[in-house]
Amino acid sequence: MGSTATKEGRAQELLRLKSEYLVPCVYHFYKDPPVIVRGEGCHLFDDLGRQYLDCLSGVAVMSAGHRNPEIIGPAIEQILMLQHTTTIYLTDPILRLAKALSELAPGKLSRSFFCASGSEAVEGALMTSVLHTGKPRIIATTNSLHGRTRWAMNATGTPMWRTDPFPPDDVSHVPFGDADALADELARHADQTAAFIAEPIQSNGGINVPPDGYWQRVRELCDEHQVLLVLDEVQTGFNRTGRWFACEHFGIVPDIMAVSKAMGNGFPIGAFITTDDIAQSYTRPGASTHGGNPVNATAALAVIDCHTKHRLGQRAQESGQYLLEQLTDVTGQKTHLGPPRGIGLMIGIPVINADDTPDAQRCDLILERLKDLRVLAGKSGPDRNILTLMPPLTIVRQEIGELIDAIQEATA
């Protein structure tokens, strides 16, 4: 804690700096935000020493928990040995990681391109689909989020994240979960369409699980029209939903898959993974300065080991099931909460008015109360009224009990 700390903490001073020096698009949660200074397991701590149960995991990043020694240990050793070179030199971690990913990824996905973020992973996946098919257009879904680079933002369907006032005319959007709408769009434009991109389960769009049969039908439609299926597993990947990749729930394999977030557990890494055949279309020089950096690649390898050793997929499935059951009891007693939904530890609870319309204001109030009860949660959905829970996958029953108690109280 710096010398300027008072018993009120440093929030006011940091808010002043933020209002002066950050681009105003960078929003924060809470009217009275805590200053987070430390993380440990499922908990965050503020500058006044208060402990919070982290139920957002830095937006689905810290799946293996904060300050996990099994991940930061090897990364620190790597920092001390060799931090950075770029891919113009041969280094070992990037190649071991690519091999490990090809073993984890479904079907014939075997070749990776590494970058530093989810947006770049999506951008690379879309570029590769255009290169491979020789077709210029993309179909994406409403209420999606794919990133902030120009193409990823244009593929994004949620209006609040579509900041570009002049989006290029190369993406059309169909409703998520509606295979007939995709079939109609493909019937009209398949000859111009390189890929259909979507999240297997929409996360920022409000924890939307598509209806049974949707993904199988989408896979068939893409094959029928020779359009590639790009899955954005940036948020759903790495056991968030109880499987390494959410597409495994639906028994389908994409042609290209974008990953990031929990893959690095706090180290900035992303990748797109594709088949040998598709990868052969991308032969012009391509480089990402930080992509596959030895430190981030070492951390990602440690993440894979940690998830495997501690069976985090199975834990996410079991804890998620238990949390969903408990939440169903709570929401059943409250008129302003809809039924909870989700898979694994990706759960959303609609906050609604008496006539079932979204109540974003009450959602904000609940988030604020939860924070005062020392639980940090999130919100999602086009109306920002879906209370969103994505704790580290290492969360234990007692912590889930604390979360349920806090939700009971905050929604009273």
Among 133, 142, 158, 235, interactor with ligand PLP by CB under 6 A:
235
Residue 208 as a binder of ligand PLP (CB under 6 A): the answer is no
Among 10, 132, 146, 219, interactor with ligand PLP by CB under 6 A:
146
Work out how close the CB of 269 gets to ligand PLP at its nearest, in angstroms, rounded to a whole number.
10
Work out how close the CB of 61 gets to ligand PLP at its nearest, in angstroms, rounded to a whole number.
9
Work out how close the CB of 5 gets to ligand PLP at its nearest, in angstroms, rounded to a whole number.
31
Work out how close the CB of 118 gets to ligand PLP at its nearest, in angstroms, rounded to a whole number.
2
* Strand partners of residue 113: 272
Residue 122 as a binder of ligand PLP (CB under 6 A): the answer is yes
CA distance 332 to 318: 21
x/- track of binding to ligand PLP for residues 185-204 (CB under 6 A): --------------x---xx
Among 138, 234, 337, 407, interactor with ligand PLP by CB under 6 A:
234
Work out how close the CB of 210 gets to ligand PLP at its nearest, in angstroms, rounded to a whole number.
15
Residue 119 as a binder of ligand PLP (CB under 6 A): the answer is yes
> Which segment (90-98, 163-171, 229-237, 302-310) binds ligand PLP by CB under 6 A?
229-237
Work out how close the CB of 270 gets to ligand PLP at its nearest, in angstroms, rounded to a whole number.
6
Q: How many residues does the chain have?
A: 412
| Residues in contact with ligand PLP by the rule CB under 6 A | 59, 117-119, 122, 145-147, 199, 203-204, 232, 234-235, 260
